[in-house]
Amino acid sequence: MNIKEGKFLEKILAEKKQEIAQMPDENSKPIRQTYRLYDYLKKHSDQLQVIAEVKKASPSLGDINLEVDIIAQAKNYEQAGAAMISVLTDPVFFKGNIEYLREISKNVQIPTLNKDFIIDKKQINRALNAGATVILLIVACFENDFEKLEELYNYAISLGLEVLVETHNKAELDRAHQLAAKIIGVNNRNLKTFEVSLQNSTDLVPYFKEENVYISESGIFGKKEAQKVAENFNGILVGTALMQANNLTKSLTDLKIKRKNDEH
């Protein structure tokens, strides 16, 4: 789907509201048992950890790997030492599906993240029931409604889920800290223009808090980019590079850089 420059997030959220209107409201079931991502990242802070993403397509790159066997890919991620598997479930813009999350969660032992534009409790219940142990909440989706963000964050936590709160700038990072979010992502991609810059991650480092863990997302294709963020981030979220890797195990292992600074 073509999206006019600068209107990416607006279009995605309009589409998401239509999707939610058709979505049944599920009763939440008990959470799938695995380790807590926050604890894992704190415990293994001597090394940059990798959140490996199952992603078939994206609005910026188009088709990435449509033929992928998602179960095999997820199992390979797990065996190669990923800390968590991120699963795109948005059908329209990313060619994802909630069933991908369900199938992957059944076949791996490690945490799974429901990567979507979550703006409603229905999506949180659905994510939990599909085996996710972590959900994504993007601060930019709640530009004028911090109360809604807070409500969804607290609801997810009450179900036993962990929440990756995604930010892009200082104002959004302040919002994440206000929420008392423990796992905070810094997206190097501007969701309004889809431009990517690792400088985004670097710029926010001075405002980090020691008790939190931080994930650098987007624009990381190999060791060179990983090294730029390794010192100040606990983990990186990598999709495209791993979906297209010829040697997945080597590509993922190369990203797990030793960290000099494990204060954060």
Output the DSSP codes for 4-59: -TT-HHHHHHHHHHHHHHHS--PPPPPPPP---HHHHHHHTTTB-EEEEEE-SEET
Active site residue 192: no
> What is the spatial distance between Cα 14 and Cα 140, in angstroms, rounded to a whole number?
14
DSSP state of 241: H
Active site residue 53: yes
How far is CA 262 from each of CA 35, 177, 250, rounded to the nearest angstrom?
20, 20, 24
Q: Which of 16, 56, 115, 256 is catalytic?
A: 115
Element (H, E) at 73: helix 70-80
> What is the spatial distance between Cα 80 and Cα 100, in angstroms, rounded to a whole number?
20
Tokens describing residue 151: 């409500």
> What is the spatial distance between Cα 91 and Cα 93, in angstroms, rounded to a whole number?
6
For the beta carbon of residue 251, count every other beta carbon within 10 angstroms: 20
- Report pTM: 0.93
Q: Which of 16, 55, 56, 256 is catalytic?
A: 55
> What is the spatial distance between Cα 125 and Cα 128, in angstroms, rounded to a whole number?
5
pLDDT of residue 61: 62
Structural domains of the chain ordered from first start:
8-23+47-255 (3.20.20.70)
* Per-residue pLDDT tens over the stretch 58-102: 656 666 556 778 999 999 999 999 999 999 999 988 888 999 999
Confidence of residue 263 (pLDDT cuts 50, 70, 90): very low
pLDDT of residue 245: 83
Confirm if 49 and 256 have CB atoms less than 8 A apart. yes
Tokens describing residue 160: 């036993």
Confidence of residue 264 (pLDDT cuts 50, 70, 90): very low
Element (H, E) at 184: strand 183-187
Active site residue 166: yes
Active site residue 187: yes
CA end-to-end distance (rounded Å), the chain:
39
pLDDT of residue 262: 46
* Per-residue pLDDT tens over the stretch 25-55: 999 999 999 999 999 999 999 999 999 999 7
Q: Which of 78, 162, 172, 217 is catalytic?
A: 217
Active site residue 217: yes
Q: Which of 16, 56, 78, 166 is catalytic?
A: 166
Q: Which of 65, 105, 129, 187 is catalytic?
A: 187
